[in-house]
């Protein structure tokens, strides 16, 4: 039992630190994922949405710190109880969103061999956010990961007497305290700037056109069609890969199920649109393009917006084409431009896409023929070299 506890301790501690650090690198992104969970279609906890960012910072800092505590053997009773409560919460969260997102007919909740074939695209929350954008897990994979962790933490709970401190009391306490301070500082730092490591498809060096393209030899999507016909007074089902079945009966309906979604481009739903036309290709061909990203003008940071005038005027003088991207309506766009005397126009883009492009509002993205040359938080706008 002693050795099993130690192995569980090492594996669980390292996993919590890695998972927590990746989310701590992008707490704003994790808060967006929490908002998905809090939505009415999932947990129906919409009153928590305004507090999602604060909750995300608390959760990820605690996740890192509790992982360090476990490896150090610091306050084992508190640590193990904390781990148990966290994993029960996470397992409930991932299990609930998974099991309520899609239920194949005739499949028991306990028949996990059948569940494995389900299509994650039918889930309300398609990615748990456990490892941020570094590693995408489907709800099924995330739920199973949490079940494994639950078993390991139960082992730690039962065998907590075998969890001994690695060092004496003073250095253990100092390291534990430092882990909390450093985690809190790092979370604050990336919120005031940008994630230190960008795992997204819009990172510096990435090309928009390449990210949106589908290779010729890419795997194709596989969809299963279940057709229902009334044959001789009884309803019968016929399964095909899309073709209309030759059945001597009256058509009733059809259900589709994605078996394999095939190749999915890393960049989806990105567009630059006016009221009249799609200008995506036109702007992505520009050699010197600056995008001012504000997913919602009403919630943009006033201090950051105030800095845009001087920056964009200077950029225009140096030959840059400057545009804004937002999901807000015409009135908000017109008011913003007039209030701050901005010299550029805003175009439409999906809110979630803008949030993914840059973790700031306003955020600055510099492109050269669709390739990201630089990105910056509005706090760092003075440091951008044009």
SS3 of the chain: the string is CHHHHHHHHHHHHHHHHHHHHHHHCCHHHHHHHHHHHHCCCCCCCHHHHHHHHHHHHHHHHHHHHHHHHHHHCCCHHHHHHHHHHHHHHHHHHHHHHHHCCCCCCCCCCCCHHHHCCCCHHHCCCCCCCCECCCECCCHHHHHHHHHHHHHHHHHHHHCHHHCCCCCCHHHHHHHHHHHHHHHHHHHHHHHHCCCCCCCCCCCCCCEHHHHHCCCCCCCCCEEEEEEEEEECCEEEEEEECCCCCCCCCEEEEEEEEEEECCCCCCCCCCCCECCCCECHHHHHCCCCEEEEECCCHHHCCHHHHHCHHHHHHHHHHCCCEEEEEECCCHHHHHHHHHHCCCCCEEEECCHHHHHHHCCCCCEEEEEECCEEEEEEEHHHHHHCCC
Q: Indicate where the chain has its CATH 3.40.30.10 domain(s).
A: 267-383
Q: Which residues of 297-327 are buried (b: 16+ CB within 10 A; e: fewer)?
A: beebbeebbebbeebbeebeeeebebbbbbb
Q: Are 65 and 13 in contact (CB under 8 A)?
A: no
Nearest partner of 140 among 107, 184, 173, 163, judged by Cα: 107
Nearest partner of 118 among 130, 106, 129, 132, judged by Cα: 106
Q: Which residues of 120-152 are buried (b: 16+ CB within 10 A; e: fewer)?
A: beebebebbbbbbbbebbbbbbbbbbbeebbeb
* Side-chain half-sphere exposure of 159, counting CA atoms within 13 A: 18
| Tokens encoding 241 | 């890969």
Q: Determine the Cα–Cα distance for residues 272 and 282; give it in Å rounded to an integer.
A: 9
**First CA to last CA distance, the chain:** 62
386 residues of the chain, pLDDT tens digit each: 889 999 999 999 999 999 999 999 999 999 998 888 788 666 788 899 999 999 999 999 999 999 999 999 999 999 999 999 999 988 887 887 777 654 333 333 334 343 344 444 444 555 555 665 677 777 788 888 899 999 999 999 999 999 999 999 999 999 999 999 999 999 999 999 999 999 999 999 999 999 999 998 888 888 899 999 999 999 999 999 888 998 989 999 998 887 887 888 999 899 999 999 999 999 999 999 999 999 999 999 999 999 999 999 999 999 999 999 999 999 999 999 999 999 999 999 999 999 999 999 999 999 999 999 999 999 999 999 98
Q: Determine the Cα–Cα distance for residues 173 and 113; give it in Å rounded to an integer.
A: 45
Q: Residue 136 contacts by C-beta under 8 Å, 6 or more apart in sequence?
A: 127
Q: Determine the Cα–Cα distance for residues 60 and 31; give it in Å rounded to an integer.
A: 10
Q: Determine the Cα–Cα distance for residues 49 and 40; give it in Å rounded to an integer.
A: 10
Q: Find tokens 């604060």 and name the residue.
A: 54
- The fold of the 267-383 domain, in CATH, is Glutaredoxin (3.40.30)
Query: What are φ and ψ of residue 224, in 5° steps?
Result: -100, 130
Instruction: Report how far Cα 377 is from the mean position of its chain's Cα atoms.
Output: 19
């Amino acid at each position: 039992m002693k050795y099993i506890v130690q192995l569980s301790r090492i594996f669980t501690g390292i996993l919590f630190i890695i998972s927590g650090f990746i989310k701590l690198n992008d707490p704003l992104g994790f808060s967006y994922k929490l908002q998905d969970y809090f939505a009415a279609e999932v947990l129906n906890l919409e009153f928590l949405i305004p507090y999602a960012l604060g909750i995300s910072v608390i959760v990820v800092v605690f996740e890192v710190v509790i992982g360090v505590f476990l490896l150090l053997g610091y306050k084992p009773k508190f640590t193990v109880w904390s781990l148990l409560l966290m994993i029960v919460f996470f397992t409930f969260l991932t299990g609930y969103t998974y099991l309520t997102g899609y239920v194949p007919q005739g499949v028991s909740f306990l028949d996990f061999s059948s569940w494995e074939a389900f299509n994650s695209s039918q889930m309300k929350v398609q990615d748990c956010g456990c490892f941020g954008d570094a590693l995408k897990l489907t709800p099924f994979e995330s739920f199973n990961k949490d079940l494994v962790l639950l078993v390991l933490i139960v082992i730690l709970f039962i065998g907590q007497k075998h969890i001994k401190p690695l060092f004496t009391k003073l250095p253990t306490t100092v390291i534990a305290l430092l882990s909390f301070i450093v985690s809190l500082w790092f979370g604050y730092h990336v919120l005031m700037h940008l994630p230190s490591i960008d795992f997204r498809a819009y990172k510096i060096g990435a090309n928009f056109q390449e990210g949106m393209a589908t290779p010729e030899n890419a795997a194709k999507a596989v969809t299963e069609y279940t057709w229902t016909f009334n044959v001789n007074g009884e309803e019968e089902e016929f399964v095909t890969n899309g073709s209309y079945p030759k059945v001597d009966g009256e058509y009733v309906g059809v259900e589709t199920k994605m078996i394999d979604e095939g190749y999915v481009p890393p960049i989806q739903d990105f567009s630059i649109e006016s009221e009249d036309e799609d200008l995506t290709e036109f702007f992505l061909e520009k050699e010197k393009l600056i995008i001012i990203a504000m997913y919602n003008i009403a919630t943009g940071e006033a201090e950051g917006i105030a800095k845009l005038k001087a920056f964009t005027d200077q950029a225009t003088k140096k030959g840059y084409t400057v545009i804004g991207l937002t999901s807000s309506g015409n009135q908000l766009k017109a008011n913003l431009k007039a209030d701050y005397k901005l010299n550029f126009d805003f175009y439409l883009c999906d809110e979630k896409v803008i949030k993914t492009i840059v973790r700031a509002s306003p955020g600055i993205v510099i492109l050269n023929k669709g390739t990201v040359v630089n990105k910056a938080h509005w706090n760092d706008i003075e440091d951008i070299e044009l």
